Each structure stands twice: as structure tokens, then as C-alpha cells.
A = this chain, B = another copy of it.
Amino acid sequence: MNNFTYHNPTRVVFGKGTAGHARKYLDPQKRVLLLYGRGSVKNNGVYEQVLGGLPTPPVLEFGGIEPNPEYETCMRGVEAAREAGIDFILAVGGGSVIDAAKFIAAAIPYRESDPWDILEKGAAMSAAIPLGTVLTLPGTGSEANAASVISRRARQQKLAFIHPRVQPVFSILDPETTYSLPVRQTVNGVVDAFSHVIEQYMTYPVDSPLQDRQAEAVLLTLIEEGPRAVAQPRDYNARANVMLAAMWALNGHLSCGVPGDWSTHMIGHELTAFFGIDHARSLAVVMPALLREQSAAKHAKLLQFARRVWGVTAEDEGTAVEEGITAMETFFHDLGVETKLSAYDVTLEKTAPIVGRFRTAAARLGEHGDLDADRIEAIFRACA
């Protein structure tokens, strides 16, 4: 097992009726910015529920955060928040709204240069506005971690930053707020969470049986409960189990002491930046092809995945590995998620600029740093 440090101070408030409980965790003296997305929280009653649970009315509301939150939108929020003297952000929504809240929280006090530098250049931040969340769309895990991903469409960029100062102080997870989610968003969340586990689990063994089984516990939960939540959108336990599993998938625990490989996300982000493919769906395209491309380096874990997660019994190890990956693809397909670029009208030729970016980048991807541009090109060929 590798050395690690783990610190996750987010207070997680989970359960039925909790969406209206913010007053228990929020200082009434705070000048709150209420941040949300494109209005679904106003249609499904969550907005009123949250507002009714605040200790004092928000000083500022800022809506309109889009999926893959946009730098330009966030910067409008930053300006408004600076003018209003905001000192707490309450994000009500899914991962996009929470990611936007984190970037806005970091950008408000950042005056050294364009806050985009926090993402592009890893510019040091010495402060951030504290934030809390009311999660309405499980998937990204952003509610209980310190990461944020922001897009800048004008430059076809989608970049991430991680900083402990933007870890939510509290996050309220009320499964009932997810009853009204469209199937597409429910499914995206399940696939996104599934991929988060894979990125932390599917590397090479480091004699860490507990972390392996914890990862498998989340995968099995998503495999069982994801389809249940789609079939019965108002089944409380199905929604609760998906919501909890998605948080677990990326609250930092699964990566304790083990290597990670975030290649699927790195490549998927580019597909979203270039072609606007939903985040989760970009991952479903890349993941199977990437695992096959890396099947030698990841052999032991792929075999364990096949046997423990999918119950594959084939004696031949190569056959078992392939059956495991195929079972994962079938899981995606059964959820209505495509695993080929062609489903999004993206031809192999169109991926050339992405391969080009990886060709010029110094860093190679993969837990062994051996995934270079040629191999990324091979992955695109395989999922074309």
C-alpha cells in the first residue's frame, strides 16, 4: 500500500427532507450568494424548499450555470458577488453548479491575474469564499471533494483544479430532490460515478484488499441501483443508494494508498470540449477502448473486476478480462448510453486535433505514464 494523507472535513447531511435544513449549518450573519443552474430547481420545488430553510434571505441570487460550467458565466457571477460583498456561496444543483461555485469562490478574492490562471497555470490561491451545497443531481462527487472542472468554449478548453479551500463546508443530500431528474441526467450520473471508481481502481495491485473491495462495493451498488432508479424514479432507496454511491465514488476514500489513472477523464474532457458530448457519455465512449488498449498493464485488476464485479467464470484469463469489459459495455448500453464516437457524429478524422494536443503535451497519461498520443489515437480508432 502507498502512503497517503486523507482529510475530508465536509459535513454530509443525508436524507429525506434535509433540503430545507440549511439553517442548521449556515451562519445567519453570512452574506449568501445562492447559485443555481438553468431553472430546474424552480420547477421541481427545491428552490422554495432551500430558500425556506435559510436562516436569512440570500443577498444575491445567480442562476444560469450551464452543464460543463462556462468560464464566462462564472466570471459574471464573480463580478456580481464582489459587488454584493458575498462571504458564503450556497450552490443548489448538480456537479456543474457546485464546480462553478468552487471556481467563483476561488476567483472572488483572486486579484493577481485572470482567475483562469488558477485552472490553466495552477496559479496559487491564498483564499477562497467558503461554500456549502444542496445536491440535486448525483454523479460528479463534487459535493464532497475539493475538485472543480470549468470549460472555456471559446478556446475549446475544459480544465480542472483541486484546492482544499474550495472543499464544501457542508453538503446536503436529499434523495427526494432527484425524483424529477430526467432519465438522461440520472443515467449520466450513474455512468460518471462508475467511471470515477474505475479511475481509482483499475491500475495495478498494491496489496490493498480493503480499498479494492470498497471500490467494488460502489461499482456493484451503481450496477444494481442505477437501473432501479431509472425504472422507478420515485423509489426513495434506489435514489438514496445512487446518491450515496456517487458521493463515495469521489470523496477521496477510494484513492487512499492506491495508484490512480485519470486517462479516461483527460481524454473525455477533450471530447466534451471539442464536440459537446455529455461528460458521462464521453467517458462511456473512451473507457472500454482504453481498458482494452491498456489490458496488459491492467491485467490483474481487469481480471479481478471481471470475476468480482461481473461474476465472470471463464477459466482463460484473457477471455475473462474481455468478458468483464463487454459486461461493462452492456451495462452502459442497457442504460441507453452509447460507447462509440459515431453515435455522436464524430468521425475518426475529427479527433486528430485532440491527438495533436496530447502529442505536444509533455506529460503522458496512465498510471505508468505510458499512454502517449499514438496510443490515444489507437483508442479513438477502437471507439470510432
Contacts and interface: CB of A to CB of B under 8 A. Distances in A.
A220 B213 contact: yes
A210 B248 contact: yes
Interface of A: 1-18, 207-210, 213-214, 216-218, 220-221, 224-225, 236-237, 240-241, 244-245, 248, 253, 256-257
11 contacts: A1-B237, A6-B12, A7-B12, A14-B256, A15-B257, A209-B220, A209-B224, A209-B241, A214-B217, A240-B257, A253-B253
Copies of this chain present: 2
A213 B213 contact: yes
Contact of A1 (B8, B9, B213, B241): B241
Nearest to A221: B210
B16 A5 contact: no
Nearest to A243: B1
A14 B18 contact: no
Nearest to A224: B209
A288 to B, nearest CB: 24
A256 B7 CA distance: 18
Nearest to A174: B3
B12 A241 contact: no
Given A14-B257, A216-B213, A8 B5 contact: no
Contacts of A2: 15
A11 B3 contact: no
Contacts of A244: 1, 210, 256-257
Nearest to A7: B11
Nearest to A209: B221
A374 B294 CA distance: 61
Given A210-B241, A216-B213, A217-B213, A14 B7 contact: no
Nearest to A24: B5
B15 A4 contact: yes
B14 A3 contact: yes
Contact of A6 (B11, B208, B217, B220): B11
A244 to B, nearest CB: 6
Given A208-B237, A210-B245, 9 more contacts: A1-B241, A6-B11, A7-B10, A7-B12, A209-B224, A209-B225, A210-B217, A213-B217, A240-B257
A214 B221 CA distance: 11
A214 to B, nearest CB: 5
Contacts of A10: 7
A13 B5 CA distance: 4
Contacts of A16: 3
A241 B208 contact: yes
Nearest to A5: B13
Closest 8 CB pairs of A and B: A3-B15, A213-B217, A207-B237, A7-B11, A9-B9, A210-B221, A6-B12, A1-B240
A237 B224 CA distance: 32
A165 B12 CA distance: 18
Contacts of A14: 3-6, 256-257
Contact of A11 (B1, B5, B12, B213): B5
B213 A221 contact: yes
Nearest to A208: B241
A244 B236 CA distance: 32
Contacts of A216: 213, 217
User: Which of A3, A8, A11, A257 counts the most B-chain CB atoms under 10 A from its CB?
Assistant: A3
Contacts of A256: 14, 244
Given A209-B220, A209-B224, A218-B210, A12 B1 contact: no
Contacts of A17: 3
Nearest to A238: B207
